[in-house]
Amino acid sequence: MIGQRHRHLHIDGRWQPADSQEKLDLIDPATEQWVASAPDGNAADVATAAAAARRALPGWSEAPPEDRADLIAALADGFDERREEFARLVTAQNGAVISRSRRTNGTRPVALYRHHSEVARAFEPEMVDTAGREILRREPIGVVGIIIPWNAPQSLLAHKLAPALAAGCTVVVKPAQETPLDSLRIAELAATVGFPPGVINVVTGGRATGAAIVDEPDIDMVSFTGSTGAGRAIASRAGRLLKPVVAELGGKSAAVLLDDADLELFSERLIATCLPNTGQVCYSCTRVVAPRERFDEVLAVVTSTLAAAKVGDPLDPATTFGPLVSAAQRDRVQGYIESAHSEGAKVVLGGKRPTTTPAGYYVEPTVIIDVNHSMRVFREEIFGPVLVVVPHDGDADAVRIANDSSFGLGGAVFGVDVERSTEVARRMQTGRISINGEAHSVSAPSQGFKDSGIGGSIDLHSHLQVKSIARFPS
């Protein structure tokens, strides 16, 4: 797919020429070279895809759950064989370091499809009360419009697509303008493994294509992952149309270190917890909240760990920090670093473009201190390799600082006493927390609190509506 000028979308189980003549030019963030182009789909393309999804709906939603389960499992197997291809295809578009892309665009989607294949197999759509009078029936919502961002596109897609398919919904996918190719590829793969035409359709494009998904009458529900700003626009549009929305949005999460935190363990888990994917992950814990009495010690661990990490070619398995996704994102991140300087904070590591990378949208891993809680670098999602370290005066103060945010997406607590750490986690207003860097299972729900979202798509029930049938005994 690399090096090609794609003029087709994947709709109704086959490649079809796009109605739109506009295109998205993809640039490799590491080299600034042209990668490929894809159609910038218009409202007519969305309508064609939605009509195909609508036609496919009765057959798919009424198919025995085990048939759906078998096809989702076949998609998992097909993906598994092409994991490396997907990981590289994503990295060529978004610059994600390959060691991480192999997980988020390789093994994790496979695990998500496998998990939801089992969920589909076990799904019982009807429950009848003991007297046989009342039936509770769960039916698929219908055609789901899936809109995703670029940062881990195949995990984020599987996170929405797998449960939608398991529930019996058909879908129209709108990938991010930065990463259209891997979504087109998965639609092609789904057709190859036997999905009926129209169950999975992909229309590539930008914001206007996303807006057309929301407005399209043949789309019954919108499942969105992306920024809080776009989430607000989408949810208000969908609200007017009374269309159900799942919105998985931005974050500004906190990693709280308690006074007994094991700093060696924290150092090992620091990058995965605080700046994964060069800080371009919604769950990044970019506010490190450290005990005041151990502040210097924590800061030394943070700066030495980040200073030792390799910045450079994302295809090199030894690289930890790659480029940012685009020139615009790099400039945005640098704007935040400038704001820290002008608001009186102190940049103690990084802050500039690295001198070792002649091309590409790189920013050095950056650590900022002397931050007060009204500064932009404390309050706003930066989505780059930038974190702040702030002091706390005990567990209650740490919770107060962590909760001093309009967001509530992720979070972490580091402490040797796991029960005490869990108690702190219970008091943090956020949807997903890890203790000592423990990873969540593939079936763990993820739901944003506050401005981080509405609902969560990984749950099968988000894609179902409930009908109750009361029967007069005959």
Residues annotated as catalytic are 248
The DSSP code for 188 is H
Q: Does 147 bind ligand NAD (CB under 6 A)?
A: yes
Q: How big is the chain by its Cα radius of gyration, in Å?
A: 23
Nearer to ligand NAD, 207 or 310 (CB): 207
SS3 465: strand
Q: Does 223 bind ligand NAD (CB under 6 A)?
A: no
- Using CB under 6 A, pick the residue from 73, 90, 146, 230 that binds ligand NAD: 230
Site for ligand NAD in 181-210 (CB under 6 A): 206-207, 210
As given in the structure block, the two tokens for residue 33 are: 């070279």
In DSSP notation, 148-162 reads --SSSHHHHHHHHHH
What phi, psi does 416 have (nearest 5°)? -70, -35
- Using CB under 6 A, pick the residue from 274, 448, 449, 458 that binds ligand NAD: 448
Site for ligand NAD in 388-427 (CB under 6 A): 409
Nearer to ligand NAD, 236 or 422 (CB): 236
State the nearest-atom distance from the C-beta of 279 to ligand NAD, in Å: 11
How far is the C-alpha of 436 from the C-alpha of 430, rounded, in Å?
17
**Part in contact with ligand NAD (CB under 6 A); list of ranges 100-108, 230-238, 314-322, 465-473:** 230-238
Instruction: Work out whether strand 434-435 and strand 407-408 pair parallel, antiparallel, or are unpaired.
Output: unpaired
Size of residue set near ligand NAD by CB under 6 A: 30
CA end-to-end span of the chain: 61
- Using CB under 6 A, pick the residue from 177, 253, 278, 405 that binds ligand NAD: 177
**Part in contact with ligand NAD (CB under 6 A); list of ranges 229-237, 343-351, 388-396, 421-429:** 229-237
The vertex-318 CA angle with 306 and 337, nearest 5°, equals: 35
**Part in contact with ligand NAD (CB under 6 A); list of ranges 2-10, 127-135, 228-236, 435-443:** 228-236
Instruction: Work out whether strand 412-414 and strand 434-435 pair parallel, antiparallel, or are unpaired.
Output: parallel
- Using CB under 6 A, pick the residue from 113, 383, 414, 449 that binds ligand NAD: 383
Residue in 197, 145, 185 with CA at minimum distance from that of residue 6: 185
Nearer to ligand NAD, 41 or 291 (CB): 41
Nearer to ligand NAD, 168 or 448 (CB): 448
Site for ligand NAD in 342-361 (CB under 6 A): none
Nearer to ligand NAD, 196 or 210 (CB): 210
Residue in 163, 132, 134 with CA at minimum distance from that of residue 146: 163
How far is the C-alpha of 273 from the C-alpha of 433, rounded, in Å?
10
Site for ligand NAD in 235-294 (CB under 6 A): 248-251, 282
As given in the structure block, the two tokens for residue 211 are: 């807006």
Nearer to ligand NAD, 376 or 400 (CB): 376
Residue in 259, 321, 252, 330 with CA at minimum distance from that of residue 293: 259
15 forms beta bridges with 10
- Using CB under 6 A, pick the residue from 453, 460, 462, 463 that binds ligand NAD: 453
Q: How far is CA 95 from CA 150, 327, 351, in A?
A: 10, 12, 20
Residues that bind ligand NAD (CB under 6 A): 147-151, 156, 174, 176-177, 206-207, 210-211, 214, 225-227, 230, 233-234, 248-251, 282, 381, 383, 409, 448, 453
